[in-house]
Amino acid sequence: MDRDTDDARTGPAAPRPAAGPAAAGPAAARARLLAAPGPGGRDRRAGLSALTDAWLAALFTDAGAPAGTAVVAVGGYGRGALAPRSDLDVLLLHEGRLDPALPDRLWYPVWDSGAALDHAVRTPAEARAVAAADLKAQLGLLDARHVAGDPALTAALRSAVLADWRAGAARRLPELRELGRERAERHGELSFLLEPDLKEARGGLRDVVALDAVAASWLADAPREGLADAALRLADVRDALHLVTGRATGRLALQDQDQVAERLGVPDADALLRRVYEAARTVAYASDVTWRAVDRVLAARSGRGRVPRWRAALPFTGPAGAAGRGAGAAARGAVERRPLAEGVVEQDGEAVLARGARPAADPVLPLRTAAAAAQHGLTVSCATVRRLAAECRPLPVPWPDEAREQLVTLLGAGEACLPVWEALEAEGLITRLLPEWARVRCLPQRNAVHRWTVDRHLVETAVRAAAMTRRVARPDLLLVAALLHDIGKGRPGDHSEAGEPLVRGVAARMGFDPESVETLAVLVRHHLTLVDTATRRDPDDPATVEAVVKAVGSAPRLELLRALTEADALATGPAAWSRWRAALVDGLTARTAARLAGEHPVPDGHRAEDGPTAEQERLAVEAARTGGPALALAARAGADPAGGPAGGGPTGARLLLAVPDRPGLLGTTAGVLALHRLTVRAAGLRELDPIGAGPVLLLSWTVAAEFGELPDPARLRADLRRALDGSLDVARRLAERDAAAPRRPGVPVPPPVVAVAPPAASATATVLEVRAHDAPGLLHRIGRALDGAGVRVRTAHVSTLGADAVDAFYLTDPAGRPLTARRAGEVAAAVRAALG
């Protein structure tokens, strides 16, 4: 309410009435209620409101108010939720003729009591006019409640205000959203602040009021499960804060937290903050979901888009039929659904389940949905997350490979991971995947350097690490280490030591091999080693480098630790990383790398491989005799023999292909696989001469069907033959398909890295390393670039780790010799250009 009581009809102010016992009685009753050991929380707020109603009604009667006037409670008082030190938001409503002395006879006893009064004197028409010009005034009137006088006058005003609100919702709701954004910029996010404002920060009580206002518009409503409890928890903490400080404040200052916790019966200040953070996250998530729904409805009304025909994403619990007048009416057009991944489609800017998805039979579906959404810059619809939480079975232990890959893909999306992660967390899916997460969830960090709670810091570190995946050979280990490096916090002892055994168990459960488990354990145990040693020890002392060498043990782990150190510091806050710190860490890293290179030289030659299997030899012989491709396509272990995946997810397979050696083989074969919508997860290439008739290239692929089932092997073989003899233009077909159904742009990713390895990497070939974001046709483009450069691919090792491709190609010139340094640089430039 505004405090302007000037009115052309009120005339000059009357003399102030003498203060008397009228104010003392209500004040004493209020004090007794606040001091009573009995009801607290909602009951006390309702009691304060009822006590104030009775008092104002008595004052109204004593003031001799005529017919055609009414006292109306608005704002928090109108909602019957008076906090101990809340203002009284009151409107004196009249029909147009008013005794000028009446307002003073009402207001002065209130002031004499010491209560803070926010008041106005208006006719219904004036009240509506002010509301039309002032959004905050209109929000207050949405909660108008009759206190005394003419109830019909109050009812008429309330009906008119609600009608105005609904009629102007298309204009008012964007204004309301902007108010929320401005508050968030000024006051921050309640879920992460050490001294949060319970009312004004994002996820606070103001946002609860805004959600109620959206519901009153009949355009959309918030997901209500847990929202009322979250709002009550925040209100209870604010009440206790008022009583502890004796002031109408919403800022939960550090010096007050212990007393507030004690008053609420909470063990300590940390437990209090966790309760506040959990409630705030519920409110913030409900706000995000609701405003997305509002955007869809308004876009549909303006002709810029459609809202879903189904409305399950936002279960409406308000007046019957209200949602139908908003979202439903706007959604009569056809709904466009664009495939994202097996069982996942995009609809109205959100990831939702495909109609044929089977959550109960596909435990990887939550991670696949999340990864697909994040990689395309979307979030997951509220209804979808709830269905996944309700129907999906827990992942088997160890996790299927796809589950681990999808988690890494989700983390690798960078900033786009955050809203998806929040959606999964809101429905308990994160703690279901990682039970250890419960210990760090909403855990405050009482350190001025840290910006976030422990759990959000871990996710933020993964976001930062996603920008560094091109620096390391194992981006999957970097991202998982970033997510888990502080998992030991909240437990006794040093959190790095406590986290090491935890991460061993988590990594084994995720299905990492023993060497990777050990690497993750080392990274978590020593995630502070580089920065602590660099800033606290003498860099010229040999013992300094020896300590780091002993901790990391190998150059690949050092590479990972350097990236993790920077990601951790950047996610901590601006004070944790600087050019000075970076220079110290880089210097220590370089000395350690040199020491490790001296002790552990890179072995000459490429990675040793086992001899060919009987099946590989059979295919090689067949290819050598027929002069054409010979292949074997088999579903991987765990797939459904009927053709579908064992858990309802994308079908994985092992493809063996033998082809007489010829130029362009790698790029052509990869293109045919892309045409058949087979995603390459790993690949290897080697040369055999099974019958002495010339070399045969043996390609071993691990692939997954992007959508649906595996292609028919006979059709795949026929397309390979056509591509190899030139009758199938693979590049043109891929371009036509992409033009007919362009893919969503997706999220920003680090640029590809194409580098020539040092000569010591192989004595017989030049090793070209490629690190890039995985995408359909990636290997096809690399292969075409190598073919165009006129080099021969003797061996290749291709890996897809989450959303990152980490490939190594062993190249020679046509005579079988390693490339010259200049030629290798030209080939690298050609591949770089092909990747854009």
pLDDT, tens digit, 9 for 90 and up, residues 736-768: 887 776 666 678 888 999 999 988 888 889 999
The per-residue pLDDT for 744 is 65
Which helix or strand (DSSP H or E) is residue 44 part of? helix 41-62
Share of the chain above pLDDT 70, in %: 89
pTM value is 0.84
What does the pLDDT look like over 345-364, one tens digit per residue? Answer: 999 999 999 999 999 999 99
Lowest mean pLDDT among 272-276, 324-328, 572-576: 324-328
Amino acid at position 456, single letter: R
Span of 29-43, 299-313, 383-397 with lowest mean pLDDT: 299-313
Report the mean per-residue pLDDT for the chain. 86
Token pair 């145990």 is found at 525
d(CA 487, CA 496): 8
Which of 38-47, 446-455, 475-484, 542-551 is least confident? 38-47
What is the DSSP secondary-structure string of 167-181? Answer: HTHHHHHHHHHHHHH
pLDDT of residue 98: 86
The yes-or-no verdict on residue 711 having pLDDT over 90 is no
DSSP 8-state assignment for residue 414: G
Residue 768 · residue 757 · CB < 8 Å = yes
The pLDDT tens digits of the residues spanning 267-297 come to 999 999 999 999 999 999 999 999 999 999 9
Q: Is the pLDDT of residue 214 over 80?
A: yes
Residue 72 has pLDDT above 80, yes or no: yes
Min mean pLDDT across 269-273, 311-315, 461-465 is at 311-315
What's the CA gap between 653 and 674, in Å, rounded?
A: 14
**Residue 736: alpha-carbon gap to chain centroid:** 34
Is pLDDT of 225 > 80?
yes
- The Cα 791–Cα 787 span in angstroms is 6
Kindly state the tokens that stand for 427.
Answer: 């429905």
Using only the alpha carbons of the chain, give its radius of gyration. 34
**Rounded (to 5) percent helix, strand, coil in the chain:** 50, 15, 35
Each residue's pLDDT tens digit, 487-511: 999 999 999 999 999 999 999 999 9
First CA to last CA distance, the chain: 58
pLDDT surpasses 50 at 512: yes
Report how far residue 402's alpha carbon sits from residue 400's, in angstroms, rounded to the nearest whole number.
Answer: 5
Yes or no: say if 347 and 336 are a contact pair by the CB < 8 Å rule.
yes
pLDDT-derived band at 321, boundaries 50, 70, 90? very low
Report the alpha-carbon distance of residue 755 to residue 769 in Å, rounded. Answer: 5
In this structure, of 146-155, 278-287, 561-570, 602-611, the range with the lowest mean pLDDT score is 602-611
The rounded distance, in Å, linking the Cα atoms of 16 and 11 is 15
| 555 or 317: which leads in pLDDT | 555
* Distance of alpha carbon 124 from alpha carbon 103, whole angstroms: 16
Residue 187 has pLDDT above 90, yes or no: yes
E-assigned strand segments in 606-749: 630-635, 652-660, 678-688, 696-705
